[in-house]
Structure formats: C-alpha cells, structure tokens
Structure 1
Amino acid sequence: MQYYEDIEVGDVTECGSRTVTKAEIIDFATQYDPQSFHVDEEAAADSPYGGLIASGWHTAALCMRQLVDGVLGEQAGMGALGVDELRWYRPVQPGDTISVTSEVLEKRPSESDASRGHVTSKLTGYNQDGDEVISWVGLGLVKRREGEQ
C-alpha cells in the first residue's frame, strides 16, 4: 500500500493502455451522451469528425479505469476534491489505443485533517500515435501512515 509519505513530486507512472471498440463507443454514448456523432455511423460520417468518435466522458472514464489500475488501486486513497483543467485535445475513434500516464505535481499535508495529505497529479492520455487526447489535474486525498502526522 502506498501512503502519502511514499509519494514524491515528479513521480511518473505508466498506467497501461486500452483499445477502444466501436461497440463500446456506441454503448457508452447510447446510455450517457447520445449525440449523433457518438451513436450513428452515418450521421458521424457527415460530421466535422468524418466518423464515429467516443464521447469525451467515455474517454475520461476509460482513463480513470487505467488510473485506478495503474496508481490509485495501490494507494491509500481517500477520494478527491475534484479535477481541474479537464481538456479533450483530439477525438478518440474506434480502434484507437489509449495509454495513460500520471505525474505527481505537488503534495502537502492537510491543514484540517492530520490523517491525510493532498496530492495533485496530472493525468495524460495518448493515442497510439503519441498524440494527447485528454488530460486533467486531479486533486487527490491520500492517507498518512499512523504516527507520521
């Protein structure tokens, strides 16, 4: 288990990759973001994107899963205060493989709760060509070891 004290500013973690399928794009969008360029191949072909693309929220969810598998699942996490600077740079298309990295930007002890610390990290998702497709800055809370407050 990784506690607040184990985390260093500048730490970079490769969180793995995942290939996005057409079926996943349509299924997610049908439930949560049913805009035509996410759910209808014919309409998407006539859109500015020239074809079906994943919802940005789908891209974020895929990257969040990779972040949990690559970093957060091993951390003594206590949730988060939110995310800042969420950006979608490039559409994700069927067959794209998205790779995620996480970099620790800052950390500080909590002023209101000595049992935890604040860890600010930047997540970046890249496609198979190395192009950024998404990024955000996460405002995480991580448990401190007993006796080290």
Structure 2
Amino acid sequence: MTEDTDGAVDGREEPERRVVAGWHGRYYEDFRVSDVYKHPFGRTVTETDNVWFTNVTMNLNPMHFNEAYAAETEFDERLVDGTFVIALAVGMSVIDVSVNATANLGYDRVRHHAPVYHGDTIYAESEVLEKRESDSRDHVGIVTTELRAYNQDGTKVLSLERTPMVLKREHADPSPEQPPGWPAGVGTPSEGSERR
C-alpha cells in the first residue's frame, strides 16, 4: 500500500475519518407504552456464576452449592441462585431501558416461574407498562417496564416490574464525541464528527 502526498492510498481517495454516534440508549421521550424491547445477547449461566454469586451473597441454602444434597431433591441437581437470575436479567435490560437512568425507584412483583440450571441460556425482554413525568424533577421521567426472562427452550423463568427515573434528552445532550460514560477529550478527536 502506497500513500500519495495528497492523502490518497494506492490512487484511491480515502474518506475523511469522522466520529459517528453509536447507541446512547433510550431517553424518556423514546419510551411508548406497550413497546417491547428484546434485549440483545443471550447469556449462558455457568456453574462458576452460581457458586461465586451464592458465596459472595452468603446464600446458605445448600440447593445452590451442595451437589449431594441437591441430588436428593425433586430437582436432582443444584439450582442457580434466583437472585443471580434477577441480577442477570436486569443487567441484560440496561442497554434498552436504563442506560440513561438516574435512579431505580423499585423492583416489584418479582416471580420465579421455573428453575434455572447450570448451562441454561437466558434471554430477556422488557415491555413498557407506564410512563409519566416526575412530580419533583423536571429533567427526568418515570418509566415502568415488565422484565421477562426465558431459557433456551422458551420457558419463562422470571418476571418483574422495574421502575427507573430516566433522563430527558434535552438534559443529557448526547454527542458522538462524548457518549454516556466517556470523559471529555478521550479517544478519537472530534473533527468531522456527525451529531445525531
């Protein structure tokens, strides 16, 4: 590959490099009641996930860490800690629901519909149930979603309602140069950027 003095490579004009906006998450205005977001990327639950989470949270139920005990139960094997399933499903929903949240106000109506085992792959989706303006904060709105998680066979394993306060777009002012979580001046310079 040879470069000419005018910036062309092998006789072809190189396009100008520009910083282009990626996904910045939804803002309050983007939510619509009855919309469903299927969150990207299923996640396979490993034995390590379950053992680590069970130990870190001091869950002393032997169903999660004692194979001999669990083998004598109706399930025949250890079950994945239910609070891990909650944390995983909520984490999977952040990309679509709460990247721009300022706080989570509550988790309600939590239901475990079926057990989760080592090796199960979990998928999650959220449905917008309600949205309203905040009574005390002009820069956010309140959004309630139902989060549902399924295993690889399509069995619903978890549901819960989740209510975050989400920034309004005008107060976030996202840009390609400084997306959520990036400090100013880090990464590729901003000349030639495209604002969304």
Name which of 4, 27, 31 aligns with 2:56.
31
CA positional deviation for 1:23: 2.0
Corresponding residue for residue 44 of structure 2: 19
What letter matches 2:83 in structure 1? Answer: W
Secondary structure of 2:42's partner? strand
Corresponding residue for residue 51 of structure 1: 77
What letter matches 1:43 in structure 2? Answer: Y
What letter matches 1:64 in structure 2? Answer: V
Q: What are the ranges of 5 or more consecutive residues in structure 1 without an aligned counterpart?
A: none
What letter matches 2:80 in structure 1? Answer: A
Secondary structure of 2:55's partner? helix
Secondary structure of 1:146's partner? helix
Moved over 2 A (4+): 69-73
RMSD of aligned alpha carbons: 1.5
Seen in structure 2, the aligned counterparts of structure 1 residues 70 and 143 have a Cα distance that, compared at 3 Å, is closer
Seen in structure 2, the aligned counterparts of structure 1 residues 69 and 144 have a Cα distance that, compared at 3 Å, is closer
Name which of 96, 102, 116 aligns with 2:140.
116
Corresponding residue for residue 102 of structure 1: 126
Q: Distance in 2 between matches of 1:99 and 1:54?
A: 15
What letter matches 1:26 in structure 2? Answer: V
Give a deviation string over 1:7-28, Cα, whole Å, max 9, x none.
1112211113111111211221
What letter matches 1:28 in structure 2? Answer: F
What letter matches 1:144 in structure 2? Answer: K
Corresponding residue for residue 61 of structure 1: 87
The answer to whether the Cα contact below 8 Å between 2:98 and 2:164 also exists between their aligned partners in 1 is no
Q: What are the ranges of 5 or more consecutive residues in structure 2 without an aligned counterpart?
A: 1-23, 172-196
CA positional deviation for 1:143: 1.2
What letter matches 1:51 in structure 2? Answer: E
Name which of 169, 172, 175 aligns with 1:145.
169
Name which of 111, 119, 124 aligns with 1:87.
111
- What's the TM-score, normalizing by structure 1? 0.90
The structure with more radius of gyration: 2
**Residues matched between the structures, number:** 145
Q: Distance in 1 between matches of 2:103 and 2:136?
A: 16
The answer to whether the Cα contact below 8 Å between 2:98 and 2:166 also exists between their aligned partners in 1 is no
Give a deviation string over 1:60-100, Cα, whole Å, max 9, x none.
11112211244423xx2111111110111111001101100
Greater displacement, 93-102 / 106-115: 106-115
Corresponding residue for residue 128 of structure 1: 152
Q: Distance in 1 between matches of 2:138 and 2:83?
A: 34
Greater displacement, 92-101 / 25-34: 25-34
